[in-house]
């Protein structure tokens, strides 16, 4: 209850063309459920099992089967990153600054009970219980790239629905120009909250048109399973054309505001991390180039083969018009 898609010429593959995990074997069954109207019950049963998820071994989390997305640009032919790599090489500073820290330390996070408060310049503010948030709209599977500012990238099958579905439900007021996301900051379950590396709680933000774009995903699962703690359980945002730190994890508040909100990394080092943080090979981080990237799982570590970084992470055909006429070196 409510408590109140890669480069130009983008190819949309058939499910048979994507190398799947074994959990995807039930995809056709899920599509039948969607057609028969039973999918809501299936999602509800998944939500009830989520309390058991964090005690399960990697790759053994409760199943979450989403329909293949029909959103243009939401699929890619690229090889999926191995689940083990995607869940053991993470940025989540609430659990430590080393890439392996979140997987080691995030087991302390309690994802039930969990509510997400919607507040600010909206006609229908309120608190959503996580199960109700999950059931708000039909889930989809979307295979997106994740590109991080440090120069590494992954290809992950996420499960969720367009953030726009929630935004439309809460009816933003005309002066709401930005959406701010606030991550949980609980020192009892997040051992590095309170460290001086960032200003807590972790906050991120999007311009309203960015938040409303169909590719912006409110995310509850990955690889056909619920989100592991280290990947942002129980709910996160995924914005595939921006650097990974823009996709807020473990969200507890969504605020609609008139002025550009301060964001965690921009407040920590504005000269290095701009508000927009769009993937752009032509705008280097002050301490390293963004012209190339290395794919996690390719082997070779720091000496792995590097690939050319694509503008907007390969989603330029879908999102380039959002920034028409903007100086992308000034609004980095």
Position 148 in a domain: yes
pLDDT of residue 302: 67
Position 292 in a domain: yes
Position 294 in a domain: yes
Query: Burial level of 183, CB count in 10 A (0-12/13-18/19+)?
Result: buried
> What is each CA distance from 220 to 63, 118, 291, 316, in whole angstroms?
11, 17, 31, 25
Contact 218, 235 (CB under 8 A): yes
In angstroms, the CA 323 to CA 317 distance is: 12
DSSP H or E run through 319: helix 316-319
Position 293 in a domain: yes
Q: Which domain holds residue 121?
A: 15-323
Q: What is the mean pLDDT of each run of 10 residues along the chain (332 residues)?
A: 38 30 37 37 39 41 78 89 97 97 98 98 98 96 96 96 98 98 98 96 98 98 97 98 98 98 97 97 95 89 84 98 97 96
Position 156 in a domain: yes
Neighbours of 21 (CB within 10 A): 14
DSSP H or E run through 35: helix 27-36
DSSP H or E run through 252: strand 251-257
Q: Name 42's Cβ contacts closer than 8 Å, sequence gap at least 6.
A: 30, 33, 65
In angstroms, the CA 163 to CA 227 distance is: 17
CATH of the domain at 307: 3.90.420.10
pLDDT of residue 301: 66
Q: pTM of the predicted model, to two decimals? A: 0.83
In angstroms, the CA 301 to CA 298 distance is: 8
Query: Burial level of 31, CB count in 10 A (0-12/13-18/19+)?
Result: middle
In angstroms, the CA 331 to CA 254 distance is: 23
In angstroms, the CA 326 to CA 280 distance is: 13
Position 331 in a domain: no
How many domains does the chain divide into?
Answer: 1
Position 9 in a domain: no
SS3 148: coil
pLDDT of residue 16: 27
pLDDT of residue 104: 97
Position 239 in a domain: yes
pLDDT of residue 188: 97
pLDDT of residue 77: 81
């Amino acid at each position: 209850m409510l408590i109140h898609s890669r480069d130009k010429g983008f190819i949309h593959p058939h499910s048979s063309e994507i190398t799947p995990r074994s959990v995807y074997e039930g995809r056709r069954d899920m599509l039948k459920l969607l057609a028969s109207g039973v999918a809501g019950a299936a999602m509800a049963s998944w939500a009830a099992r989520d309390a058991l998820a964090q005690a399960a071994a990697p790759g053994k989390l409760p199943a979450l089967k989403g329909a293949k997305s029909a959103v243009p640009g939401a699929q890619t032919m690229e090889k999926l990153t191995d689940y083990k790599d995607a869940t053991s090489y993470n940025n989540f500073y609430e659990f430590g600054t080393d890439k392996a820290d979140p997987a080691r330390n995030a087991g302390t996070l309690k994802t039930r009970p969990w509510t997400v408060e919607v507040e600010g310049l909206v006609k229908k503010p309120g608190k959503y219980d996580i199960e109700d948030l999950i059931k708000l709209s039909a889930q989809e599977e979307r295979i997106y790239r994740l590109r991080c500012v440090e120069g590494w990238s992954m290809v992950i099958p996420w499960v969720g629905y367009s953030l726009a579905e929630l935004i439309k439900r809460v009816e933003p007021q005309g002066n709401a120009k930005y959406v701010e996301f606030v991550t949980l900051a609980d020192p009892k379950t997040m051992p590095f909250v309170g460290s001086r590396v960032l200003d807590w709680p972790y906050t991120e933000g999007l311009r309203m048109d960015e938040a409303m774009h169909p590719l912006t995903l409110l995310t509850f699962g990955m690889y056909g399973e619920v989100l592991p703690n280290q990947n942002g359980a129980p709910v996160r945002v995924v914005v595939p054309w921006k650097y990974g730190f823009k996709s807020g994890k473990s969200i507890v508040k969504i605020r609609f505001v008139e002025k550009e909100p301060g964001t965690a990394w921009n407040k920590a080092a504005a000269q290095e991390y701009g508000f927009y943080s769009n993937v752009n090979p032509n705008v280097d981080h002050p301490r390293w180039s963004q012209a190339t990237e290395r794919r996690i799982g390719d082997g070779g570590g720091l000496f792995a083969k590097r690939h050319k970084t694509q503008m907007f992470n390969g989603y330029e055909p879908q999102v380039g018009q959002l920034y028409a006429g903007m100086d992308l070196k000034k609004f980095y």
